[in-house]
A and B are shown apart, each in its own frame.
Chain A
């Protein structure tokens, strides 16, 4: 099969049109040094058969470690069980390969799936309207902030220190090109947002306050009603980053009068994978519907009065409003959103609650066992938590992490990765996948490593 689309004749025609004698001349602006390096690096081996290719790729893929590791890493991305039906349904070619369903005449299936996704996100969060998804929670956080700015025109973004450091980085990247101010509200010794500090900092310039619950350190914020009141009394927008699975046992964002709710939706049926694709969830109040970024699917009736689905309010979007679009996002994560809707539909209200209880129980079992059985270890934050907590060791967390890694246990995420001065702390995460036996192995090995 020819992988190179142009014939030598076509190449010659193009070169002569450009007035160039050769491809080398076409690329003469590229420095020789780079060309030399490229030549050295692009030494492709001779062609091989399909069978050989498969074997070769398999060999590489077998180098992947991790499958047989015990996993206690979380921090926004969680190892939840994915029912096989999720993969089965998203693998239908009609879903798997369909793209940009602009034409309702031929896209009812995918449009209906996105509409169901939006509806279930609203059920889960208690919010009134959800979009058809964004890329991941980081862009969701940034888009929510810009939405707040469009709503009230104020220029100062307040964000809790407890928000995931990567979401903050994405937000700051968005803000690079905008004349908006970014200010962090610290967390206190309990790991909760410092409410007094917030009260002092919030002003008529504050467009929004962003909080994450449970926060990056696993801590459950216990004064959300008061925080919400402070934010709303100031006519600012309350942005609430949630963990979808945790909503099985925690109150939904709507109970705290959140104006915009954002989440990483990977936990809803999408496997852990370096670089994604993940799922940005964004939901809001109906009155802000015009300011929503990205795609939105609506229910309507066709000319025969039958139920149908369309992309709606597209005048917000870039292909119509150009530079004045609510967002430069003109797409969505349809496949991961589909995973989420299948996952949510399969589990239902009871299923989500059960998964949440399992995560909670496993994490609390682990905490109890670690504190009872291991000396010299303490919790950084003595607070309520859902399925994650931070441990503080007498020695560097990376040292312990590496020791356990040798035994095929990924014990958590050393906080040093995100906070260079926090060398002795480890963020541990637990889901329904971490059965009791595995937790016992983790605790034994932690004890051994700390001897």
Chain B
């Protein structure tokens, strides 16, 4: 449920490094808590975000929740498929349900994120 090839934020996002870029998404736990996601408001490409800033808003049937960037950087790619198929966030949060790719500003921030084990203990799943 929480792959070890990436790191996690306390706000339930994950980041996976690919060269100097990071792929960003939400965790299995996050999508389960949100329920059926019906819409995602994606950021604009080129937008610069700081760690902890809002990069997207997801809507489930009865709520709207902010998604925070786990790292600082510039958005270079967004997952356009989610506009048509927001359910991928529920069905496949770690692969096809990725949200954005970030050109990472400060690689140290990645190491400050939680490991899979640390995140699992945060959410009480060991």
Contact = CB atoms under 8 A, between A and B. Distances in A.
Q: Which of A153, A315, A320 has the most CB of B within 10 A?
A: A315
A315 B44 contact: no
B17 to A, nearest CB: 29
B64 A320 contact: yes
Which secondary structure dominates chain B's binding surface?
strand
A251 interface: no
Contacts of A315: 39, 59, 62-64
B41 A290 contact: yes
Interface of B: 39, 41, 44, 57, 59, 62-64, 66
Chain A interface size band reads under 10
9 contacts: A290-B39, A315-B59, A315-B62, A315-B63, A320-B62, A320-B63, A320-B64, A321-B64, A324-B66
Given A290-B39, A315-B39, A324 B44 contact: no
Contacts of B44: 153
A370 to B, nearest CB: 55
Given A153-B44, A315-B59, A324 B39 contact: no
B114 to A, nearest CB: 26
Interface in A150-192: 153
A315 B63 CA distance: 6
A23 to B, nearest CB: 44
Contacts of B66: 324
A321 B39 CA distance: 14
Contacts of A320: 62-64
Interface string A294-338: 000000000000000000000100001100100000000000000
Nearest to B57: A324
Contacts of A153: 44
A289 to B, nearest CB: 10
Given A290-B39, A315-B62, A324-B64, 8 more contacts: A153-B44, A290-B41, A315-B39, A315-B63, A315-B64, A320-B62, A324-B57, A324-B66
